[in-house]
């Protein structure tokens, strides 16, 4: 802004300065705290936490809630009943075709079930029988889930106090700008902790999206109330990483943070265990060693489990015993299918971190047959920009031979080897040396999958990617690209070898899902490849395949709601509203060019409940795509009519041409309508040509040529 003496600029100050002539010293935040806090605003990516779906693709399989499994044939524009609209074209068995109006897009879901499904016949009879079978099987599952849910909510936990001044101060020292998703997750976690029932929340976010900071703030809150915190991690390297992070964030506060891992000597481990028992250790980070019988917490209040899927069955049983009456916070980048199912069906609360930090960039991913030439080129390219390389060779028996071959290919590279069978001291020394830049290439097993955060590593080479799981591949790829530089991932499979169908699907998915925040999409695809199974066992996979995963989960949710209904409000369901008006109402392809964006726009319009929501969508369209064309404006007008119908309890408004005997023109049929006797008598006088059918609760109004204008 302009001042009388010049310009005044509102901006950040990275560092201070001294102006001797003016006898003025300027101090920045970094000069006082030693940290520089970034204030770059982060734009949130919108995603409904209960509707996870990939974009519809032509040729993919979908499920219509009434007609069943079909193949999606794309979006088409057609004129029906005098109105030009966009329709989703679904193809069923026997060459049957169904045109689904864009406003009914919520009746169509993507099919996820494992195998290629059998198409249903259009008409819904066979699909109705299938749904009936699945519904009876789901009822039993729902009963078990409701019992679990009730047990969880009837248990009594510790209700924590509101944030202390120290909590506010510690959170303010976070050196980055929180993403909107982070702030939402932190609010949810704190609300859970301040409630009487024990917390059981899953925080799902891609690598580097800020899950650890959510855990840091929850841990500090628990410690402020005099409780102990345990952070359970799958690897020693991740334990060391978390110990450094938590110690740094809690520096300056009278808290004792310890790590319990195989890197400690026996004497050091005994000292930590004694501190856990007598309560002098406030927070301990450890591997499955924390689950041993000799570990007794004096007053455990919060258990943080990082990457739950990495623990075995026996460890998970021990975790269950440890978590009784304790708040539990689970962090994961790619949730395992069963954990995902529990989250989507409400047994565990879920927070999604879906907004990438401002500096993160997508990782360029190459999937192909192994060739030493691109390997050597990738390593040399990284060395030229003074970076480092992870080379994953997941066989210990010949890992040294592979390291020697890399030294031959790229003589100038300094190569080190790391794997889990090395003794603790050697492994730690190698990793620390690589961390400090003494090596250029680390030839390693999947031991780096979790826990190593080295910003200078921005190239990843995986030699036998076909042998690794989808979650593993995603985690490994997340080890690079953490500094804001462009990162590269090369995922190789052997030449001239037939890949299994599952391996092919895994590599295809990881190659396609390169955008930031794709972890949840990968988990859903993993669920589809491996099969959903049972929520509590393994007997439901056939039912999931029959109706698709999304519809299966919806049916479970409906059964749970039926069993656990506490009030009439919970029983209310969203009522479908039909609005048919003979106007051209659609999004022209030259206005919104991408089909996935048009589908998303239609999905949002179909779910609006108020005119204000429609106004917000219109403002967004103007901002993103420019002035709204006439057909799109008509689409918004129809959405406003639908919103008004929702407000008034109207389920159907159909405008059609009237017969010649009644004078032609247009007639609006509105249903359901209740009219008192006195209003029925006035109806014909005020609105000539109107008809009210009391038995059907249907009102017909002439709406053209002044027919609906009161006569006096």
* Res. 152 pLDDT band, cuts 50 70 90: low
Which range is least confidently modeled, 257-266, 350-359, 455-464, 652-661? 652-661
Query: So what's the pLDDT on residue 538?
Result: 47
Q: Tokens 């979650």: give the residue.
A: 471
372 plus 286 within the same structural domain? no
**What average pLDDT does the structure give for the chain?**
78
Cβ 673 vs Cβ 648: under 8 Å = no
User: Do 406 and 439 share a domain, yes or no?
Assistant: yes
Confidence tier at 40 by pLDDT (50, 70, 90)? very low
Per-residue pLDDT, averaged over 330-343, amounts to: 67
User: DSSP letters along 34-63, please?
Assistant: S--------PPPP--TT---PPP-TT-EEE
Q: What are 244-287's pLDDT values in tens digits?
A: 889 999 998 999 999 998 778 889 999 999 999 999 999 999 98
Instruction: State the Cα–Cα distance between residues 654 and 656, nearest whole angstrom.
Output: 6
Which position has the higher pLDDT, 310 or 664?
A: 310
pLDDT computed for residue 411 by the predictor: 94
Q: How many domains does the chain have?
A: 3
Residue 510 near residue 475, CB atoms below 8 Å = no
Q: What is the DSSP pairing of strand 441-444 with strand 666-671?
A: unpaired
Are 582 and 616 found together in one domain? yes
pLDDT tens-digit series, residues 607-646? 788 889 999 999 999 988 899 999 999 899 988 988 888 8
pLDDT band at 417 (very low <50, low <70, confident <90, very high): very high
Inside any domain, residue 85: no
For residue 49, name the pLDDT band (cuts at 50, 70, 90): very low
Instruction: Using alpha carbons only, give the angle 653, 658, 662 rounded to the nearest 5 degrees.
Output: 130
In angstroms, the CA 352 to CA 211 distance is 10
Residue 231 forms part of a structural domain? yes
Domain-embedded: residue 17: no
Average pLDDT for 326-343? 72
Q: What is the mean pLDDT of residues 184-200?
A: 91
DSSP for 399-448, written as a single string: HHHHHHHHHHH-TTS-EEEE-TTS-HHHHHHHHHHHHTTS-SEEEE-GGG
> Which pLDDT value is given to residue 530?
56
333 and 403 housed in the same domain = no
Residues 258 and 293 in one domain: yes
Cα(656)–Cα(333) distance, integer angstroms: 52
CA distances from 428 to 158, 432, 550 (A): 38, 6, 45
Q: Which of 35-49, 224-238, 688-702 has the highest mean pLDDT?
A: 224-238
Question: Tokens 């976690």 appear where?
Answer: 189
Per the listing, tokens 């952070």 go with 231
Percent of the chain with pLDDT over 70: 77
Q: 367 pairs with which residues across the strands?
A: 491
Most confident among 5-9, 67-71, 216-220 (mean pLDDT): 216-220
| Contact indicator for 640, 581 with CB cutoff of 8 Å | no
Task: Give the whole-angstrom CA distance, residue 392 versus residue 390.
Answer: 6
Phi, psi of 630 (to 5 degrees): -60, -45
Average pLDDT of 350-366? 77
Residue 507 has pLDDT above 80, yes or no: yes
In a domain, 416, yes or no: yes
Closest CA to 88 of 97, 100, 98: 100
Tens-digit pLDDT profile for residues 557-580: 777 777 765 433 333 445 567 788
More confident residue, 524 or 361: 361
Give the total residue count for the chain.
Answer: 712
Which has more pLDDT, 176 or 164? 164
339 plus 369 within the same structural domain: no
Q: Which domain holds residue 207?
A: 165-353
Helices (H), 279-423: 313-322, 337-344, 372-384, 399-409
In which order are the strands placed within the sheet that holds 200-205? Answer: 257-260, 283-286, 228-232, 300-306, 327-332, 200-205, 349-353
How many angstroms separate the CA atoms of 37 and 511, rounded? 35
| Chain centroid, CA 427 distance in Å | 35
Q: Which of 228-237, 497-506, 570-579, 663-672 has the highest mean pLDDT?
A: 228-237
Continuous H helices in 73-154: 125-154
Cis peptide before 672 (omega within 30 of 0): yes
| Amino acid 406: pLDDT | 94
Q: Which of 464, 483, 513 is the last residue of a domain?
A: 513
3 within domain boundaries: no
What is the Cβ-side half-sphere exposure of residue 687, based on CA atoms within 13 angstroms?
16
Q: What average pLDDT does range 410-438 have in this prediction?
A: 88
Question: Per-residue pLDDT tens for 447-473?
Answer: 887 656 788 899 999 998 888 887 788
**Which residue, 496, 513, 530, sits at the end of a domain?**
513
CATH number of the domain residue 596 falls in: 3.90.1150.50
pLDDT, residue 334, reads 63
**45 domain residue, yes or no:** no
Q: Say which residue the tokens 């790590």 belong to.
A: 259
Burial annotation 139-171 (CB, 10 A radius, 16+ → b, else e): eebbeebbeebeeeeeeebbebeebeebbeebb
CA distance 376 to 487: 16
- The 3-state DSSP class for residue 654 equals strand
Helix (H, G, I), strand (E, B), or coil: what is residue 59? Answer: coil
Q: Is residue 520 part of a domain?
A: no
* Residue 675 confidence (pLDDT): 75
pLDDT at 182 over 60: yes
Report d(CA 54, CA 570) in Å as an integer. 29
The pLDDT > 90 percentage for the chain reads 22
398 and 331 housed in the same domain: no
Of 513, 533, 552, the position where a domain reaches its end is 513
Q: CATH code at 372?
A: 3.40.50.300
- How confident is the model over 95-149, as pLDDT tens digits? 888 988 887 887 888 776 656 778 888 876 778 888 888 888 778 777 776 776 6
Same domain, 236 and 368: no
CB within 8 Å of 389: residues ≥ 6 apart: 378, 379, 382, 413, 440, 441, 442, 457, 459, 460, 461
What residues form DSSP beta bridges with 79?
84
Whole-number pLDDT of residue 263: 76
Q: Report pLDDT for 482.
A: 72
Residues 593 and 508 in one domain: no
Say if CB 480 and CB 460 are below 8 A apart.
Answer: yes
458 and 320 share a domain? no
Residues 349 and 376 both lie in one domain: no
Q: Look at 33-47, 326-340, 472-486, 611-625 and tell me which has the smallest mean pLDDT.
A: 33-47
328 & 373 share domain: no
Note whether 471 and 309 are within 8 A (CB): yes
Token reading at 165: 């001044």
334 domain-assigned: yes
Residue 138: the pLDDT is: 78
DSSP class of 576: P
Cβ proximity of 614 and 642 under 8 Å: no
Decide: helix, strand or coil at residue 73.
strand
pLDDT for res 575: 59
């Amino acid at each position: 802004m302009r001042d009388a003496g010049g310009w005044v600029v509102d901006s950040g100050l990275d560092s201070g300065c001294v102006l001797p002539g003016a006898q003025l010293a300027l101090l920045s935040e970094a000069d006082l705290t030693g940290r520089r806090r970034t204030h770059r605003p982060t734009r949130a990516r919108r995603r409904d936490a209960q509707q996870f779906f990939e974009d519809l693709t032509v040729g993919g399989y979908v499920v219509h809630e009434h007609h069943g499994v079909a193949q999606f044939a794309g979006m088409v524009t057609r004129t029906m009943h005098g109105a030009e609209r966009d329709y989703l074209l679904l193809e069923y068995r026997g060459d049957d075709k169904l045109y689904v109006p864009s406003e009914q897009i919520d009746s169509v879901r993507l099919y996820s079930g494992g195998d290629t499904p059998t198409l249903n016949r259009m008409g819904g009879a066979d699909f109705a029988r299938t749904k009936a079978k699945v519904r009876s099987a789901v009822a039993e599952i729902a009963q078990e889930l409701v019992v679990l849910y009730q047990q969880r909510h009837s248990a009594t936990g510790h209700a924590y106090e509101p944030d202390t001044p120290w909590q506010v101060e510690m959170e303010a020292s976070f050196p980055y700008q929180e993403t909107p998703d982070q702030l939402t997750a932190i609010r949810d976690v704190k609300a859970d902790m301040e409630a009487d029932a024990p917390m059981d929340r899953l925080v799902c976010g891609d690598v580097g999206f800020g899950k650890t900071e959510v855990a840091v703030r929850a841990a500090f809150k628990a410690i402020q109330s005099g409780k102990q915190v345990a952070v359970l991690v799958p690897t020693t390297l991740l334990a060391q990483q978390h110990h450094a992070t938590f110690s740094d964030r809690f520096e300056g506060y009278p808290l004792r943070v310890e790590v319990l891992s195989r890197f400690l000597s026996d004497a050091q481990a005994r000292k930590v265990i004694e501190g856990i028992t007598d309560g002098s250790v406030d927070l301990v980070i450890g591997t499955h060693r924390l689950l041993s019988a000799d570990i007794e917490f004096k007053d455990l209040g919060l258990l943080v489990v990082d990457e739950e899927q990495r623990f075995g069955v026996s460890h998970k049983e021990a975790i269950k015993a440890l978590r009784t009456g304790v708040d539990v916070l689970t962090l994961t980048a790619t949730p395992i299918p069963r954990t995902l199912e529990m989250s989507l069906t409400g047994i565990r609360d879920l927070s999604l971190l879906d907004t990438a930090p401002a500096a993160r960039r997508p990782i360029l991913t190459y999937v192909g047959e192994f060739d030493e030439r691109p390997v050597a080129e990738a390593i040399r390219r990284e060395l030229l920009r003074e970076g480092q390389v992870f080379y994953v060779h997941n066989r210990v028996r010949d890992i040294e031979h592979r390291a020697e071959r890399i030294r031959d290919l790229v003589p100038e590279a300094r190569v080190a080897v790391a794997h889990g069978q090395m003794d603790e001291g050697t492994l730690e020394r190698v990793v620390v040396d690589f961390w400090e830049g003494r090596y250029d290439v680390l030839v390693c097993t999947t031991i780096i999958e979790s826990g190593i955060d080295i910003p200078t590593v921005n190239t990843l080479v995986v030699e036998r990617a076909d042998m690794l799981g989808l979650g593993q591949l995603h985690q490994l790829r997340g080890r690079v690209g953490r500094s804001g530089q462009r990162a590269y991932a090369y995922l190789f499979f052997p030449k001239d070898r037939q890949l299994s169908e599952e391996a092919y699907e895994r590599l295809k998915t990881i190659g396609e899902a390169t955008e930031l925040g794709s972890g949840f999409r990968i988990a859903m695809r993993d669920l589809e490849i491996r099969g959903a199974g049972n929520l509590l066992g393994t007997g439901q996979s056939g039912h999931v395949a029959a109706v698709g995963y999304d519809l299966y989960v919806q049916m479970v949710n409906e059964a749970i709601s039926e069993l656990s209904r506490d009030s009439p409000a919970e029983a209310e369901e969203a009522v479908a509203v039909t609005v048919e008006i003979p106007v051209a109402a659609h999004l022209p392809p030259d206005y919104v060019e991408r089909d996935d964006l048009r589908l998303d726009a239609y999905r949002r319009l179909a779910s609006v409940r108020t005119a204000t929501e429609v106004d917000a969508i219109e403002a967004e369209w103007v901002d993103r795509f420019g002035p709204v064309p006439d057909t799109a404006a008509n689409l918004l007008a129809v959405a406003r009519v639908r919103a008004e119908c929702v407000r008034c309890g109207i389920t159907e408004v159909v405008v059609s041409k009237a017969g010649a005997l009644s004078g032609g023109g247009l007639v609006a049929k509105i249903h359901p309508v209740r009219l008192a006797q006195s209003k029925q008598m006035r109806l014909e006088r005020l609105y000539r040509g109107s008809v009210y059918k009391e038995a059907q609760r249907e009102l017909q109004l002439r709406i053209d040529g002044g027919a609906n204008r009161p006569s006096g």
